[in-house]
Amino acid sequence: MPVIQTEELTKRFPSTTALDQLTIEVEPGVVGLVGANGAGKSTLIKILLGLSSATSGRASVFGLDVTAEGPRIRERVGYMPEHDCLPADVSATEFVVHMARMSGLPADAARERTADTLRHVGLYEERYRPIGGYSTGMKQRVKLAQALVHDPEIVMLDEPTNGLDPVGRDEMLALIRRIWSEFGITVLVTSHLLGELERISDHVVVIDGGRLLRSSSTSEFTRTSQTLAVEVSAEADAVGEALAAAGLTVKREGRLLVLPLDDDEVYDLVRDAVAAQGVGLIRLEQGRHHISEIFGEDQGGAAR
Amino acid sequence: MTDSPAGVIHDIGYRKYDGPRLGRGRVTRALYAHSLRGAYGLGRSARAKVLPMLLLGVMCIPAFVIAVIANVASGVTTELVLPYSRYVVVTQGILTIFVAAQAPASLSRDLRFKTVPLYFSRPLERSDYVLAKFGALTTALFLLIAAPLLIMYIGALLAELPAGRETGDLLLALLGAVIFSAVFAGVGLVIASLTARRGFGVAAIITVFALSFAAVSALQGIIRYEVDDPTLAGWLGLLSPITLADGFQTWVLDASSSAVAPPPGATGGVVFVLVTFAVIGACWALLNLRYRKVAVS
């Protein structure tokens, strides 16, 4: 049974349409919600939580309608907002205990669960110090902890990797993966980077301008979104032409030739083309489409 | 796994929570208790405790002096030098500072740090949040008023003043204190809910309370004694939260008024009562309206 279901969900603000007849289904697991800034990701989460109401259409969580049974949904959901939401003058422990109590946990259970949860997100000695002095990475962990402390059935994480350095990003992604694989809690996680979400998600939903662009399992997605960057020592144009003649869409990015990596045969084609021109192969690198590239191609195509 | 060093705390893995989950009512009560403690700085930093505790001390000193006087001069006088019901108005400056400091600490803080969405993504309803905050500040103020009144009462009993009369007066004054607390808390919270900046909230609340009281008292004085129109002077009392609540207890609880001019006649008394309840109700409605819109961003 799907955990989250929306049907023709539409949200209009006076100046823009944030969600435009969005119909999606989310199964248990890690679900990535990808879209450029302003694509409607946060709006969708707020509607699911009952923080904001839809203009038209229907949405349900655990089969409960979001407008009619908001309180019952919110008992079983954890929410990590995109923006800062932590008071600077209390410690992580005090704050998370308070938030656990606000989720309905009795005082003793709140303290016990707080200690457990902070340990799981990787906050140790520093949890007794005021949050104001924390790094961005530590603050993100506290935000995650308050979403998990009451042991929800699903957590909605809005841009959890925002503002993190590459190492912090990797740690946060690994942690999110564990929320499903070890804790058994379904995760709805948003990002504007497709690359990082396809690493941890079982299913990826891409929205743009409030509309569903595609919704598919990650394995399907990765195959079509992988690219191969090729750098040769000379005659890049000739190599590019040879590859195009072999039926590949070649994109020139400075000294690089970027090819869609549909299957392993592409490597053979590159090898043959380079050998035929008699030039050196300097670099052969797997890459992934940044989500904005997908949109860029679509919109660019439409504009031309 | 094989050679993990001694003394390492082993991760015992994730544990599910299958204990009780309390409903809205209990959560609201927990937020109420948290906010009430917070108003006195309990559970907050040492710095947050200084002001409320200092004010509580300052609030009690005159009461203590009054109690001592009653005992020392028990042969001379048969009543306290200041009636219970006038204590609030005499010490209104301290109450104003308390509200100005604690209403923004209670609301502006959640707005500034954008913590509000975390509350509203939980089972709590928005009106529960308002109820808990309103109730907590009202209770905090009530305790601030009740503590010195109790000191005076004990002093009066020790001085062997008539116990029945003193008890009756005290209970009426405590009832008045509830009204004062609700009016102060309501007006203070409405102002605090409008700004995420604590400093603005503090300044705005002090301005509204102190300025309105000073202006109303001055105008009442001029109109009553210079223009010789005590009725109009009495009506002016509606314009400041302090004189309004004072008028309420003067008329309903038969307390002795501390304002320059008490509410005029029975009609005036009824109007003061209605306006007092209207102000409390309006504060409740405004806070709910404010929080229906807030924090969806």
**What pLDDT digit, counting tens, does each position of A230-272 carry?**
888 888 888 888 888 888 888 888 788 888 877 778 888 888 8
Min Cα distance A75 → chain B (Å) is 5
Contact call for A84 and B114, based on CB within 8 A: yes
Q: Are A185 and A152 in contact (CB under 8 A)?
A: yes
Give the Cα separation of A51 and A41 in Å (integer): 14
Tell me how long chain A is: 304
* pLDDT score of A298 more than 70: no
Residue in B122, B124, B128, B129 to test binding to A, most A beta-carbons within 10 Å: B122
Q: Is the CB of A88 inside 8 Å of chain B's CB atoms? A: yes
Contact call for B118 and A150, based on CB within 8 A: no
Alpha helices, H only, A7-59 = 41-49
Residue A214: φ, ψ to 5°? -165, 155
Place of tokens 């195959």: A223
Give the Cα separation of B21 and A273 in Å (integer): 66
Specify the long-range contacts of residues B170-173, CB closer than 8 Å, at least 24 apart.
B170/B84, B172/B84, B172/B85, B172/B249, B172/B253, B172/B254, B172/B255, B173/B83, B173/B84, B173/B85, B173/B87, B173/B88, B173/B149, B173/B249, B173/B253, B173/B255
Q: Are B149 and B114 in contact (CB under 8 A)?
A: no
Per CB-CB distance under 8 Å, the chain B contacts of A77 are 121
For residue A268, what pLDDT is reported?
Answer: 87
* CB-closest option in B31, B113, B124 to A85: B113
* Residue ranges covered by each domain of chain A: 4-222, 224-303
What value, to the nearest 5°, has the Cα angle with vertex B12 and ends B6 and B14?
A: 155
Give the Cα separation of A187 and A154 in Å (integer): 6
Contact call for A151 and B17, based on CB within 8 A: yes
Contact call for B17 and A183, based on CB within 8 A: no
Contact call for B113 and A86, based on CB within 8 A: yes
Q: What is the mean pLDDT of chain A?
A: 87
Contact call for B124 and A102, based on CB within 8 A: yes
Query: What is the CATH topology of the domain spanning A4-222?
Result: Rossmann fold (3.40.50)
**Of A161, A188, A198, A202, the residue nearest A291 (C-alpha):** A198
Sheet bearing A56-61, strands edge to edge: A17-26, A4-12, A56-61, A64-65
Q: Are A86 and A143 in contact (CB under 8 A)?
A: yes
Q: Is the CB of B43 inside 8 Å of chain A's CB atoms? A: yes
A63 Ramachandran zone, left/alpha/beta (phi>0; psi -120 to 50): left
Contact call for B20 and A146, based on CB within 8 A: no
Give the Cα separation of B202 and B194 in Å (integer): 12
Residue in A55, A102, A186, A188 to test binding to B, most B beta-carbons within 10 Å: A102
Task: Provide, rounded to the nearest whole percent, the portion of chain A with pLDDT above 90.
Answer: 52
Task: Report DSSP state, residue A278.
Answer: T
* CB-closest option in B19, B45, B122 to A89: B45
Full DSSP string of B174-196: HHHHHHHHHHHHHHHHHHHHT-S
Tell which wins on pLDDT, A156 or B294.
Answer: A156
Min Cα distance A47 → chain B (Å) is 10
What pTM did the predictor assign?
0.83
Contact call for B296 and A94, based on CB within 8 A: no
Q: Is the CB of B30 inside 8 Å of chain A's CB atoms? A: yes
A135 Ramachandran zone, left/alpha/beta (phi>0; psi -120 to 50): beta
Q: Is the CB of A52 inside 8 Å of chain B's CB atoms? A: yes
For chain B, residues with pLDDT lower than 50 are 1-4, 297
Give the Cα separation of A293 and B86 in Å (integer): 73
* CB-closest option in B30, B117, B123 to A51: B117
* CB-closest option in A94, A106, A130 to B22: A106
How many CA atoms, within 13 angstroms, populate the side-chain half-sphere of residue A208? 14
Q: Is the CB of A98 inside 8 Å of chain B's CB atoms? A: yes
- Give the chain B residue whose CA is nearest to the CA of A75: B123
Gyration radius from chain B CA atoms: 23
Per CB-CB distance under 8 Å, the chain A contacts of B44 are 89-90
* CB-closest option in A87, A113, A151 to B113: A87
Residue range A273-287: average pLDDT?
Answer: 84
For residue B292, what pLDDT is reported?
Answer: 87
For residue B141, what pLDDT is reported?
Answer: 96
β-pairing, A226-232 vs A256-260, is antiparallel
* pLDDT score of A165 more than 80: yes
Query: What is the CATH topology of the domain spanning A224-303?
Result: Alpha-Beta Plaits (3.30.70)
Give the Cα separation of B183 and B180 in Å (integer): 5
For residue A221, what pLDDT is reported?
Answer: 62
Q: What is the largest CA-CA distance in chain A?
A: 74
Per CB-CB distance under 8 Å, the chain B contacts of A99 are 118, 122
The first and second tokens of residue A285, run together, are: 């690198």
Contact call for B113 and A83, based on CB within 8 A: no
**Of A252, A247, A276, A275, the residue nearest A263 (C-alpha):** A247
Q: Are B149 and B170 in contact (CB under 8 A)?
A: yes
Q: Is the CB of A101 inside 8 Å of chain B's CB atoms? A: yes
* CB-closest option in B20, B27, B296 to A102: B27
Number of Cβ within 10 Å of residue B51's Cβ equals 16
Give the Cα separation of A219 and A25 in Å (integer): 18
Per CB-CB distance under 8 Å, the chain B contacts of A116 are 14-15
Q: Is the CB of B79 inside 8 Å of chain A's CB atoms? A: no
Residue range A105-114: average pLDDT?
Answer: 95
Contact call for A74 and B30, based on CB within 8 A: no
- Give the chain B residue whose CA is nearest to the CA of A94: B43
Q: How confident is the model at residue A304 (pLDDT cuts 50, 70, 90)?
A: very low
**Of A276, A272, A250, A275, the residue nearest A261 (C-alpha):** A250
Look at residue A73 and give its three-state secondary structure. Answer: helix
Q: Are A248 and A259 in contact (CB under 8 A)?
A: yes
For residue B229, what pLDDT is reported?
Answer: 83
* pLDDT score of A39 more than 50: yes
Q: How confident is the model at residue A222 (pLDDT cuts 50, 70, 90)?
A: low
Gyration radius from chain A CA atoms: 23
E strand or H helix at B88:
helix B87-90
Give the Cα separation of B179 and B173 in Å (integer): 10
Look at residue B261 and give its three-state secondary structure. Answer: coil
Sheet bearing A77-80, strands edge to edge: A77-80, A154-157, A186-191, A30-34, A203-208, A211-217
Per CB-CB distance under 8 Å, the chain A contacts of B292 are none
For residue B9, what pLDDT is reported?
Answer: 53
β-pairing, A77-80 vs A251-253, is unpaired
Contact call for A87 and B117, based on CB within 8 A: no
Q: What is the pLDDT of residues A225-234, one digit of tens each?
A: 677 888 888 8
**Of A153, A151, A187, the residue nearest A172 (C-alpha):** A187
Place of tokens 């979001």: A66
> What 3 state SS string does A134-160 have?
CCHHHHHHHHHHHHHCCCCCEEEECCC
Per CB-CB distance under 8 Å, the chain A contacts of B297 are 83
For residue A152, what pLDDT is reported?
Answer: 95
Q: Are A41 and A207 in contact (CB under 8 A)?
A: yes
Residue in B8, B17, B133 to test binding to A, most A beta-carbons within 10 Å: B17
Give the Cα separation of A143 and A48 in Å (integer): 19
Give the Cα separation of B203 and A112 in Å (integer): 41
Give the Cα separation of B103 and B106 in Å (integer): 5
